[in-house]
Structure 1
Amino acid sequence: LAVALGREAVKAGYSVLFTTATALITQLVQAHANGALEERLRHFAKPKLLIIDELGYLPLEPGAANLFFQLVTRRYERGSLLVTSNRAVSEWGEVFGDAVVATAILDRLLHHSHVITIRGDSYRLRAKRKAGLIKPDSIHHHEQVVRG
């Protein structure tokens, strides 16, 4: 869904950047360590739509929540963000390891946003289940936050 929305934005003439949360955080952490954080923040703030995929799938490095907050603040009311996650927004305090920063991030992300909750298996798991490779015992849910 995130890729499809990104493609439609490109077709409509908007600049779009797609990245995974892990790649984005790694770049911000490295840029911060190298004294190039401002340049990286400008890079991620530039496109009209920034798609951040898979937030919450892996634990974040210490300090990553603050760097992510800086990016969200930089883009707030200036550019659209689409964030996919396998964690409900109520769990983002755990995702970021800091409930106060998570609340500040969510405050900005959820303002002017639409949250789309998808329940059930992904198309990949559905295909595996159909082939008998996975037992039909768990339900997965994903959330996508679209702010713009």
Structure 2
Amino acid sequence: MRFYPVAELVSILQTKFHAGNLPRFQKELMDADLLILDELGFVPFHKDGADLLFHLISECYERISVIVTSKLEFSQWNTVFGDNRLTAALIDRLVHHAHIVAFTGESYRHRHALSHR
């Protein structure tokens, strides 16, 4: 299992790409049974980062399990990726065999913090 905040993973992907060792890093990720991507859309990233993340998720498709957390609805993901076609293709891959869990209401962390005051 591998866990990354999305902004951190995109930064790592960009660094590995520019250093020429992205394929090795991707292989390490693919050796995991599960990749958890936390807080998609929390921090924006550039087009090249969006492309690298798309290609990683495409590699994971039907090979390993992926969990993505986001406060954004799918309809808002194009603001993160900046390309409607890329966003649609990414969502298509993620939801194909997915179990989508949607939460509503107040944040657990916020409620928990208020109860300890």
Structures share a fold, TM > 0.5?
yes
Structure (1 or 2) with the larger CA radius of gyration: 1
Aligned residue identity for 1:40: F
| CA displacement at 1:61 relative to structure 2 | 2.4
| CA displacement at 1:19 relative to structure 2 | 1.2
The match for 1:8 is: none
1:55 is aligned to 2:40: yes
Q: 1:37 aligns with which of 17, 22, 44?
A: 22
Higher helix proportion? 2
Alpha-carbon distance between aligned partners in 2 of 1:58 and 1:34, rounded to the nearest angstrom: 23
The match for 1:12 is: none
User: Alpha carbon RMSD of aligned pairs, Å?
Assistant: 1.4
Deviations 1:36-71 (A, max 9, x none): 111121122221111111111010123111101111
The runs of 5 or more residues in structure 2 that have no matched partner are: none
The match for 2:103 is: 118
Name the SS of the counterpart of 1:114 in structure 2: coil
| CA displacement at 1:128 relative to structure 2 | 3.6
Alpha-carbon distance between aligned partners in 2 of 1:96 and 1:44, rounded to the nearest angstrom: 21
The runs of 5 or more residues in structure 1 that have no matched partner are: 1-15, 133-148
Alpha-carbon distance between aligned partners in 2 of 1:131 and 1:37, rounded to the nearest angstrom: 44
Aligned residue identity for 1:56: G
Alpha-carbon distance between aligned partners in 1 of 2:84 and 2:90, rounded to the nearest angstrom: 10
TM-score if structure 2 supplies the norm length?
Answer: 0.91
Alpha-carbon distance between aligned partners in 2 of 1:76 and 1:37, rounded to the nearest angstrom: 18
Name the SS of the counterpart of 2:102 in structure 1: strand
| CA displacement at 1:75 relative to structure 2 | 0.8
1:20 is aligned to 2:13: no
Give the number of the structure with larger relative contact order, counting CA–CA contacts within 8 Å between residues 6 or more apart: 2
| CA displacement at 1:90 relative to structure 2 | 1.2
Deviations 1:107-127 (A, max 9, x none): 111101011111112221113
TM-score if structure 1 supplies the norm length?
Answer: 0.73
- Which runs of structure 1 show a deviation greater than 3 angstroms over 4 or more consecutive aligned residues? 128-132
Identity %: 36
